[in-house]
Chain A
Amino acid sequence: LAKTTQPISMDSYEGQEVNITCSHNNIATNDYITWYQQFPSQGPRFIIQGYKTKVTNEVASLFIPADRKSSTLSLPRVSLSDTAVYYCLVGVDDSNYQLIWGAGTKLIIKP
């Protein structure tokens, strides 16, 4: 199971674009990259998942370089409500494997 490394915390301001980078040097060929968001005392919420290049949805974009050893979650024009912990997970999330959750990145958005 591939391990991930992400910053422990980040600060930004309302209206800014925030990029959180995750390193996963041991990513395997079949592994996907998945990001979750978690607010205090709530369960994590799926944000986005990708395998290579770029993925975009209504909430975020995920940039994955060709070597797939890192990925960047991009949150456009953040608001105070984006203050949360963001987790990067790498693996094949089916019935035979379980993803390893690190401590995540605590993102604080200031007014």
Chain B
Amino acid sequence: ETGVTQSPTHLIKTRGQQVTLRCSSQSGHNTVSWYQQALGQGPQFIFQYYREEENGRGNFPPRFSGLQFPNYSSELNVNALELDDSALYLCASSLTGKKYFGPGTRLTVL
């Protein structure tokens, strides 16, 4: 148990729809990062938030956006879903560099 929770655990959407994924960080962790993990691949960094500000972004288009709230929980929003967005979405909270990952949200886009 890492203390990081994500919701929902599974989600099915259709192409063109929008989705919001949620992450509750481990207590006291002010940094949260989001990753996309396709089947058989390692996690790909989407972006990171530190104290409610985005401070790092990977090679993902603007339709991937996020928020971090004062209690350090976080959201990942994806607009105009594409079939290739089907993946496991992971969030990780950290305080001093060591990351604590949540169990992930499995998103399927049909």
Contacts and interface: CB of A to CB of B under 8 A. Distances in A.
B66 interface: no
Contact of A95 (B44, B50, B90, B103): B50
B92 interface: yes
Contacts of A97: 56
Contacts of B8: none
Interface in B15-41: 31, 33, 35, 40-41
A101 B44 CA distance: 7
A44 B88 contact: no
B99 interface: yes
Contact of B42 (A41, A94, A102): A102
A110 interface: no
Interface residues of A, number: 23
Contact of A49 (B45, B55, B90, B98): B98
A42 B106 CA distance: 10
B73 to A, nearest CB: 16
Given A43-B2, A93-B97, A98 B104 contact: no
B104 A46 contact: no
A104 B100 CA distance: 18
A42 B103 contact: yes
B42 A104 contact: yes
Contacts of A43: 2, 4, 90, 92, 101-104
Contact of A101 (B4, B42, B48, B50): B42
